[in-house]
């Protein structure tokens, strides 16, 4: 399977997915730590991919998303943004709304 197909499959199979450095329990950078904490505070399950485990995926996702940095949060297959955007959305309550709506839709 080609790497772009892998990315598409991950996005289709996971309504909420965070591409990050490390894991939510052991983030490998401050931006990934802050983003995963904001996402966990929403109280819904989400998938994550440690981009440090796969150099090919890490490079291909930058091209796929036209977004040069990590973390990258996708909800329902769409790039929501990186750390700064996620933290702003978290403070405004918009992140929790989007995450809960995606989780509810996935259950239906």
Residues within the annotated binding site? 29
Estimate to the nearest angstrom the gap between the alpha carbon of 21 and the chain centroid: 11
* Helix, coil or strand: residue 18: strand
| C-alpha pair distances (Å), 86 with each of 2, 42, 53, 96, 98 | 29, 12, 23, 10, 11
Q: Which residues are annotated as a binding site for [2Fe-2S] cluster?
A: 29
**Strand 47-50's sheet: what is its strand order?**
47-50, 16-20, 72-75, 78-81
């Amino acid at each position: 399977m080609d790497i772009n197909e892998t990315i598409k499959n991950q996005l289709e199979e996971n309504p909420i997915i965070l591409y990050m450095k490390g894991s939510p329990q052991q983030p490998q950078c401050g931006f990934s730590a802050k983003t995963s904490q904001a996402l966990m505070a929403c109280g819904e399950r989400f998938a994550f991919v440690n981009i440090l485990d796969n150099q090919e995926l890490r490079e291909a996702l930058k091209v796929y998303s036209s977004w040069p940095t990590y973390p990258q949060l996708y909800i329902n297959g769409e790039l929501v943004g990186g750390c700064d955007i996620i933290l702003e959305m978290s403070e405004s309550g918009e992140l929790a709304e989007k995450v809960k709506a995606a989780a509810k839709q996935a259950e239906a």
